[in-house]
Each structure stands twice: as structure tokens, then as C-alpha cells.
């Protein structure tokens, strides 16, 4: 009953110590007696196939677990890489802030010297050019920070929010 033809089945009657899956019911025989036969199907010589199926299922499970573990490790690696990059950009931004402030002071000093007649226009233009170069570096760092934050959000699978300072009017000049 439901067994494949390649499975050996033991079918005998219960009194002969055998097992059958069929339940042949003979209600009345020629003499008017009721007969009932019950039995159980037991597959013989089938453990090899069952062990092979179990082994196949276990290897499939192990393969899926290995793929899952690899995906988790890749995600953790991505998060760690992006977080480290973000920390590096933060350190660069802090260091750059001091350089940018020094350039602005140098430009203000050059303009004050030119107003007193102690410097020519070329010195002022060079100082302003240095301020603009520092501003360009600041914008590049801001761009790198924002791109890294987006990559971090992707690595975390979305839903990550950071406090990003809004650009002020002086940032856009």
C-alpha cells in the first residue's frame, strides 16, 4: 500500500507472524461465517535508501547553512569596513577643519595687509585660492562621508539613521 515496486514487502497473515497493509474484509463465506483479516506492511531491505535520503537531506541542509553563514559574514565585513571608513573620514574632517581655518585666517590677514598697502593684489588672490582649495577638499570629504553612510545603510540592510548635519548657507558658498 503506497510502497514502490523495488521495496521488498513481507506479506503474510497474522497467525503466521507476518504483516500486511491490506485489510481484506470477507463478510460472509460460503458457509455464512464472517472473516476479517488485518495486517501491516513493513518494507524490508529499505534502510539503505532511507539512509541515502537522510544523508542527502543533511548535506542539503549543511550547504544552505554554509551559504547563510557566508552571507552573514560578508554583511558583517561590509558593515565593519564602512564603519571604519566613516571613522577615517571623521578624523580627516577634523584635521582638515584646522587647515581650513588657518587658510581663512591667512586670507583675512592678506586682505588686511592689502588694505594698509603692505601687500599687493596677487597675495590676496593666492590666499583666496588656498581658501577655495580647502573648501573643495571639505566638499570632497562631505561627499565621501555621505557616500559611506549610504554604503553603511545598505550593508546594514536599511533602517540605519545617522545624525547628518544639514548644509548651511555658508557651506554652499
Instruction: List the domain boundaries for the chain.
Output: 77-155
Phi, psi of 36 (to 5 degrees): -130, 130
User: Counting every residue, how long is the chain?
Assistant: 173
Q: Rounded mean pLDDT of 113-139?
A: 93
Q: Rounded mean pLDDT of 141-170?
A: 78
Predicted pLDDT of residue 132: 95
Q: How far is CA 125 from CA 63, 73, 108, 115, 119, in A?
A: 66, 53, 11, 13, 11
Q: Which comes out higher in pLDDT, residue 71 or 36? A: 71
pTM above 0.95, yes or no: no
Amino acid at each position: 500500500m503506497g510502497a514502490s515496486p523495488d521495496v521488498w514487502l513481507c506479506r503474510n497473515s497474522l497467525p503466521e507472524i507476518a504483516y500486511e497493509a491490506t485489510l481484506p474484509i470477507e463478510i460472509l463465506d460460503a458457509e455464512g461465517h464472517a472473516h476479517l483479516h488485518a495486517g501491516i506492511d513493513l518494507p524490508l531491505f529499505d534502510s539503505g535508501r532511507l539512509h541515502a535520503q537522510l544523508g542527502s537531506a543533511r548535506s542539503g541542509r549543511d550547504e544552505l547553512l554554509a551559504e547563510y553563514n557566508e552571507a552573514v559574514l560578508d554583511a558583517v565585513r561590509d558593515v565593519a569596513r564602512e564603519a571604519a571608513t566613516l571613522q577615517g573620514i571623521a578624523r580627516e574632517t577634523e584635521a582638515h577643519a584646522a587647515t581650513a581655518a588657518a587658510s581663512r585666517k591667512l586670507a583675512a590677514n592678506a586682505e588686511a595687509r592689502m588694505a594698509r598697502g603692505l601687500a599687493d593684489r596677487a597675495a590676496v588672490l593666492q590666499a583666496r585660492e588656498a581658501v577655495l582649495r580647502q573648501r573643495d577638499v571639505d566638499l570632497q570629504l562631505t561627499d565621501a562621508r555621505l557616500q559611506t553612510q549610504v554604503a553603511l545603510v545598505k550593508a546594514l540592510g536599511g533602517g540605519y539613521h545617522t545624525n547628518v548635519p544639514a548644509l548651511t548657507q555658508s557651506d554652499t558658498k
